[in-house]
């Protein structure tokens, strides 16, 4: 229980720092996202065998 009391405040401060940074992130449309990452998805398709369309579709969800 003592360990939990030490870890909880640290974990909350880290999470709040990440959430504050996320609000400043630039939002991309799906078309912009696909244009930006299609080449990476194609390379990954050849490496892993997972179709690029599946990789990009899952990322858009």
What pLDDT shows up at residue 13? 63
DSSP structure class, residue 24: T
What pLDDT shows up at residue 61? 86
Integer Rg of the chain from CA: 18
Alpha-carbon distance values, 39 to 2, 23, 44, 46, 53 (Å): 49, 27, 9, 11, 11
What pLDDT shows up at residue 25? 79
Per-residue pLDDT of 4-58, as tens digits, reads 566 766 665 655 655 555 566 789 999 999 999 999 999 999 999 999 999 999 9
CA-based end-to-end distance of the chain = 38
pTM over 0.75: no
Q: Does position 1 have pLDDT exceeding 60, yes or no?
A: no
Q: Which two tokens stand for residue 39?
A: 């080449």
Residue corresponding to tokens 């996320």: 22
Question: Cα(43)–Cα(5) distance, rounded to whole angstroms?
Answer: 45
């Amino acid at each position: 229980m003592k360990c939990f009391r030490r870890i909880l405040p640290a974990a909350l401060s880290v999470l709040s720092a990440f959430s504050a940074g996320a609000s400043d992130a630039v939002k991309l449309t799906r078309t912009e996202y696909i244009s930006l990452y299609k080449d990476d998805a194609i390379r990954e398709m050849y490496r892993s065998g997972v179709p690029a369309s599946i990789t990009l579709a899952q990322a858009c969800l």
